[in-house]
Amino acid sequence: MSSQSQVLENFVKRLLASLDETNPQELAKVLQLVNPTSCKIIVNSTPFAQPGAFLELWQSSVVQTQHVITGMDYHVIPGTGTLICSMSGKVRFDESGRDKTGMDAVVPGAAGNTGTTGAGPSAKPRPLWGPYFGVSLQLVLDDRVLANDFNAVMSSLNYTMVYAPDDSLMDL
């Protein structure tokens, strides 16, 4: 028996875990959580008309991430069938210079050996985690999420990086 807030925490964990995936198929699982008719997505104050557009950008232009939840609270809004969840946490980035597919920016052959580039899935290099950034996340979800129904429950997501370490290689 898990309580409603644990179910909600599981939902947020699943959402963030999907965002932390490097495999596009795993990342696409976010779409199953999203309300297909309308889902407002705002990331660092940038809105996305389509969840797909956001996921595509996240897959192609953001390196591997690792999220940690450090705080969560929610209110069920009576009469609306929805709830608002506010979460705080932290995120760090793979600062090894490789993207989600393991490709780095080194020009092939330039380093004298090609070993640094595209070593292939068998020798997948480990991520080099940078320092943590602070994250504040607000979600509007259908209240059936509390009954363990995660299917298409999310109707808005606001993701904001609230603090940034100055020794990170990442440009915000």
Partner 1 sequence: MNGTFQVANNVGFMAQQAALQNRVKVGVRGWQNATKQDLINFVSRKTRIAICDSYVEGELVVGYVNSRQDASSLLNWNGVRFAGNALRFEIIAEGNGMSNISGIPGTSNTIQLLKSFLFRRYNVQTRMLDLGNLKNDPELMSNGLFSSTSTQSKMFPALMKLASRESQLVVESVNLSNNSLRDVNGISSLAQTFPRLKNLCLANNQISRFRSLEVWKGKFKELRELLMANNPVVTDPMYKTEILRLFPKLVVLDSILLRDEAKLQSVYSIPTKIQQFFFETNELGQSSIDFVSNFLNLWDSDRAQLMGLYTPQSQFSVSVDSSVPSSSVPNADQNPSLSFYLSLSRNLTKISSEKTKLMRLATGQEAIDRLFRSLPKTKHLLQEQPLNYSVEAWSYPQVQGFIISLHGFFDEIEKPELDANKAVSSTAGRSRRFNHSHSNTTSKLGKKSFDRTWIIVPNQGHVVIASDLLTVRPYADGSWSKPTDTLPTSTLQAMPGQPASETPAPTLTPSVASGVPTSQIQLPPEIQAKMTPLQLDILNRLHNQTKLNAEYTYMLAEQSGWNFDVAIKGFQNSVQNIPQGAFL
Rounded to the nearest angstrom, the gap between the alpha carbon of residue 118 and the centroid of all alpha carbons in its chain is 24
Minimum CB separation of residue 100 from partner 1 in Å reads 10
Do residues 48 and 157 lie in contact, with contact meaning Cβ atoms separated by under 8 Å? no
Minimum CB separation of residue 19 from partner 1 in Å reads 13
- Looking up tokens 């480990």, which residue turns up? 126
The CA R_g of the chain, rounded to the nearest whole Å, is 18
Per-residue contact flags (x/-) with partner 1 for residues 99 to 138, judged by CB under 8 A: x---xxxxx--xxxx--x--------------xxxx-x-x
Q: Which of 42, 66, 129, 152 binds partner 1 (CB under 8 A)?
A: 42
Do residues 124 and 98 lie in contact, with contact meaning Cβ atoms separated by under 8 Å? no
- Residue 55 as a binder of partner 1 (CB under 8 A): the answer is no
Closest Cα partner for 87 from 160, 167, 170, 168?
Answer: 160
- Please give the DSSP secondary-structure letter assigned to residue 117: S
Q: Which of 3, 25, 122, 126 binds partner 1 (CB under 8 A)?
A: 3
- Residue 46 as a binder of partner 1 (CB under 8 A): the answer is yes
- Residue 1 as a binder of partner 1 (CB under 8 A): the answer is no
| Inter-CA distances, 13 with 1, 88, 97, 103, 125, Å | 18, 12, 26, 27, 25
Binders of partner 1 among 6-35, rule CB under 8 A?
8-9
Minimum CB separation of residue 132 from partner 1 in Å reads 5
Q: Report the C-alpha gap between 103 and 86 in whole angstroms.
A: 35
Q: Which residues bind partner 1 (CB under 8 A)?
A: 3, 5, 8-9, 38, 40, 42-47, 57, 61-63, 69-75, 77-82, 84, 86, 88, 90, 95, 97-99, 103-107, 110-113, 116, 131-134, 136, 138, 140, 155-156, 158, 160-172
